[in-house]
Structure 1
């Protein structure tokens, strides 16, 4: 484990807030999921030659209760190097629910989307993809990278929801009890009793180190997204039953344990954490980085659970540095083989 290096690549200057990227439905096992695409823009320097610039692919996986829109700003920055794809996990965003919620269902959906991304025509076709996951999406990404290293170029984990065998105090009590029979329905009713504005305010307080950093336009987008979610009959089930699947995965032992999976990851990895994360203990950051065989660590001061939203530039620079170093290493190996 080493400290994360930050890329000095020239990034797009902040301007007007970017709307969510467009997307389309992609077939996966048992149904289809919605996938947004952030097209590669190449280097932003006026004298840069786009023809010789790296063009790779990345897939972004959101956390519990999130959606592909969580990656709007980070994907825009990383477009200097990546064609970016962000999926709505089954039951979230615009994706229909699976027949049964479980970590393995989410893992399979991500594998299916990765295979689809790899197969897309154009620059980068056939090459492994840079996989970036947050929270639940981080846990899912660990499983994917361990099981299908052929699809993954690098792995970035932002506040990954690794097993801790206890529920963080920040969770609502009704959600914390989802393992008990009958309680998911109670939690769904309780969630439905709060307005979209109330729930968004609660999420901001819980997920951000400093909620005042969130632009008003992003808050309004989140409220509208919450309203859209409320119109879906499966919205409450997606949250509570995915959380139940998460808790069930925490009890797995042996080869199915997520920490064992992390030890089996062979690709270069980056662990990103905010030191004000109220949902997943920041103390897990160095532990996870130490378990991953080839890793680097970035702990962001004053940042909460969603570094890609609250601090997109330092997060982007760490991800870019990981990709740059992986590419340089690959070039060295190729040169030695010639």
Structure 2
């Protein structure tokens, strides 16, 4: 990884290739950019440069004076998009990286494609829909549980339940070193999950994301993931909702062929807009 000193702090990033076509990959909560290697290899072509930055608090990335994790991640995303290219950049975001990519895309006219895999955007849910309310409330309760576990000094049960719900693997099956790292980061992860779930999106923001978008979810992912993808796609002015069969929430790392194929297709044939559900 390369460490870059910026005006707002340090950013560590994985980088592949050289060229004018920039592809930025934004990772999920608790994941980091390291799992993007296989996806980047499949996307690499002559003339393409791929950048996968570690978001704030991951690797060596630290945004000076950051108080809100989402704002800090957004600063990193904007830096990555400004790191080169010919004005036809591609922006991909997974989960927490999805809300970060969505926010980074607002007001830009220099993106060729926006691809979001299961973006965690609670603000896209409909307050008047009972299922939306139920799914959102259950997730927020799980997040509060992580914070409560941190406060009492024993977060493993709550953090393990969260990881199992989203990461397609039982907590007990994770490598001991990975469990230790996640538990050591439990306090930061509690704040980060709370900030992501609580992020407000102004009503007027959605119309500013004019880049042709693909919003993806796997059919093996948690129900909330599918509902969030549906709601995000419905609020964007030019988006296509796409279900990927046989895949779960960690598809960008576990099924890079499927994700790369969607990104390539989005570049080759921009999607048609869907009717807004807002």
Give TM-score scaled by structure 1 length. Answer: 0.64
User: Does the 8 Å contact 1:170/1:279 carry over to 2?
Assistant: no
Q: Partner of 2:29: helix, strand, or coil?
A: coil
Quote the residue 1:129 is aligned against. 89
Q: Describe the shift of the 1:274–1:65 C-alpha distance in structure 2 as closer, same or farther (beyond 3 A).
A: same
1:158 aligns with 2:117: yes
Q: 2:82 aligned with 1:112, yes or no? A: no
8 Å contact kept, 1:280–1:305: no
Secondary structure, aligned partner of 2:112 = strand
Aligned counterpart, 2:105:
145
Instruction: Answer yes or no: is 1:24 the counterpart of 2:2.
Output: yes
Match of 1:277 among 197, 200, 221: 221
- Counterpart for residue 86 of structure 1: 52
1:237 to 187, 194, 207: 187
Provide the C-alpha distance between the structure 1 equivalents of 2:36 and 2:64, rounded to a whole number of angstroms: 23
Deviations 1:219-242 (A, max 9, x none): 65xx555556667xxx33331111
Report the counterpart of residue 46 of structure 1 in structure 2.
Answer: none
Matches within 5 A, 1:314-333: 314-325=258-269
Aligned-partner SS, 1:141:
helix
TM-score normalised by L of structure 2 = 0.77
In the alignment, the residues of structure 2 paired with residue 311 and residue 260 of structure 1 have an alpha-carbon distance, to the nearest angstrom, of 35
Cα pair distance change 1:190/1:282, threshold 3 Å: same
CA distance in 2 between partners of 1:59 and 1:268 (Å): 16
Alpha carbons of 1:317 and 1:107: their partners in 2 closer, same or farther (altered >3 Å)?
same
Q: Any unmatched runs of 5+ in structure 2?
A: 126-132, 271-278
Q: Which residue matches 1:247?
A: 197
Quick one: distance in 2 between partners of 1:203 and 1:185?
15
Q: Distance in 2 between matches of 1:96 and 1:279?
A: 33
- Deviation at 1:91? 0.8
Instruction: Indicate how the Cα distance of structure 1 residues 92 and 260 shifts in structure 2: closer, same or farther if over 3 A, else same.
Output: farther
**What is the total number of aligned residue pairs between the two structures?**
255
Q: Distance in 2 between matches of 1:184 and 1:104?
A: 25
The question of whether the paired residues in 1 share the 8 Å contact of 2:8 and 2:63 is answered with no
Closer, same or farther: CA 224–78 of 1 in aligned 2, 3 Å = farther
Which residue of the partner structure matches residue 144 of structure 2?
A: 176
* 1:302–1:114 CA distance, 2 compared to 1 (3 A): same
Cα distance, 1:308 vs. partner? 0.8
Which residue of structure 2 aligns with residue 59 of structure 1?
24
Q: Summarize the alignment of residues 198-213 of structure 1 with structure 2, pairs less than 5 Å apart.
A: 203=163, 206-208=166-168, 211=169
Given that 1:28 and 1:113 are in contact with CA atoms closer than 8 Å, whether structure 2 keeps it comes out as: no
Taking the aligned partners of 1:67 and 1:96, their CA distance within structure 2 comes to: 13
* Alignment match of 1:74 (pick from 36, 39, 43): 39
1:264 to 205, 208, 212: 208
Q: 2:94 touches 2:119 (CA, 8 Å); kept in 1?
A: yes
The offset of 1:155, in angstroms, is 0.6
Structure number with greater CO (CA < 8 Å, separation at least 6) is: 1
Give the counterpart of 2:68 among 101, 121, 124: 101
What CA deviation, in whole Å up to 9, does each residue of 1:181-220 have, x standing for no partner? x848427x334x57xxx95x97366323xx59xxx9xx65
